[in-house]
Amino acid sequence: MSDLQGYLRSDGRKGIRNVIAVAYLVECAHHVARKIVTASDDLDVHLIGFPGCYPNEYSFRMMKALCTHPNVGGVLLVSLGCESFDRDGLLEAVRESGRPAELLVIQEAGGTRSTIQKGTDAVALLKQESTAKTVPMRIDELVVGTICGGSDGTSGITANPAVGKCFDRLIENDASCLFEETGELIGCETIMSERAITPELGAEIRSAVEKAERYYRIMGFGSFAPGNADGGLTTLEEKSMGAYSKSGSSPISGLLKPGDVPPGGGLYLLDVVPDGEPRFGFPNISDNAEIVELIACGCHIILFTTGRGSVVGSAISPVIKVCANPDTYERLSEDMDVNAGRILSGTPLEEVGDEIYQLTLECAAGQRTLSEELGHQEFILTYKSFEPIGPACLPAAAMAR
């Protein structure tokens, strides 16, 4: 494994990539922004954005966190011109972070073709100006997230616990590791609270899962999908325990909400279910919505486990796909970085966990994942609302103050 080198940012964090983000600020600007990225023809130019026309505190916070993510070296904002998103506030925030940033307003730039040309020129300039120096980077500066998608009957006995083994090794080296989501951990609240480093944090974890259960009950659905049943899962409890196994065995150091950056090494639970009464429909309408929220918390890399199969990657942070089912791996090997399904034929769980750990470090050192090489840069951001976390959610940080 090569020594880690990170792009040093003005806030002291270090990135493992130096992405130029092209960010549309309303769906009406999506097409133009996408054409700018396509014209740039560069794997390190990524498309992100928020489709809504009406302002939302959560969406602004998320876009700010994403545009100032350590993996981002420069930003082009693309606005239609009449949406309510605070484009000037976001532009100022990005520039204050030390990154070069530009803003194009389609209604002022002359329309589609003109804005695409100006945007392509702006991206080329941003790449020249994005000159953050690379410096040595330690494992304890890494933030790694995990998510499962397309789970089946093999997920909870191969890929998910193997990621848990990887998490334990990362945390032994004081890295920050995030697992989610509370809606897929219903029934695990008691065992998670018992792993919390303080009783107060344990109570916050139980409350977060109870909130998710209420949300799903009111909405009339749960996180157990037809595809899970087709793949051999039989109950919500079975799926929850499988998802829970991704967390490994380390103590839980904190509870975060989207956009909260972990204050130090350790294991953190990310609560992605909105606060208050259900107003926004499904908590996350796809796996990539959850990936975006993990990235907004500073995750450099995402470990994505799948049994049924998934081909997605992500903008900004690379995705390592860990396949749980050996048959799925055989069919989709060009999209899968790790074959955890071989655990079923006798490969030790610890061996696969070590493989994921080493691949995570290689990815952090610059090696591209398969989804990166294939050009996957999926991204989705929707409306939500959250209350700020309290001091009980981050007890170590509160005690340090």
Domains and CATH numbers, the chain: 5-135 (3.40.50.2300), 139-394 (no CATH)
Cα 232 to Cα 60: distance, rounded to the nearest angstrom? 40
Radius of gyration (C-alpha) of the chain in whole angstroms: 20
Per cent of the chain over pLDDT 90 is 81
User: Chain-wide mean pLDDT for the chain?
Assistant: 93
List the end-to-end C-alpha distance of the chain, in Å, as a whole number: 37
* Chain segment 274-287, per-residue pLDDT in tens: 999 888 888 878 89
Q: What is the pTM of this model?
A: 0.94
Are 6 and 70 in contact by the 8 Å Cβ rule? The answer is yes
pLDDT confidence of 1, banded at 50, 70, 90? Answer: very low
State residue 375's pLDDT score.
96
* Chain segment 7-20, per-residue pLDDT in tens: 999 999 999 999 99
State residue 241's pLDDT score.
67
State residue 223's pLDDT score.
61
Q: Which two tokens stand for residue 5?
A: 């080198």
Please give the average per-residue pLDDT across 337-352, as a whole number. Answer: 97
Q: Which two tokens stand for residue 259?
A: 């956009």
Q: Is residue 257 pLDDT above 60, yes or no?
A: yes
Q: Is residue 247 pLDDT above 50, yes or no?
A: yes
Are 133 and 317 in contact by the 8 Å Cβ rule? The answer is no
Please give the average per-residue pLDDT across 143-169, as a whole number. Answer: 92
For residue 265, what are the contacts with CB-CB under 8 A and spacing of at least 6? 140, 171, 173, 174, 175, 176, 253
Q: Which amino acid is at 73?
A: G
Please give the average per-residue pLDDT across 23-40, as a whole number. Answer: 98
Q: Which two tokens stand for residue 74?
A: 């420069």
pLDDT confidence of 149, banded at 50, 70, 90? Answer: confident
For residue 366, what are the contacts with CB-CB under 8 A and spacing of at least 6? 2, 5, 16
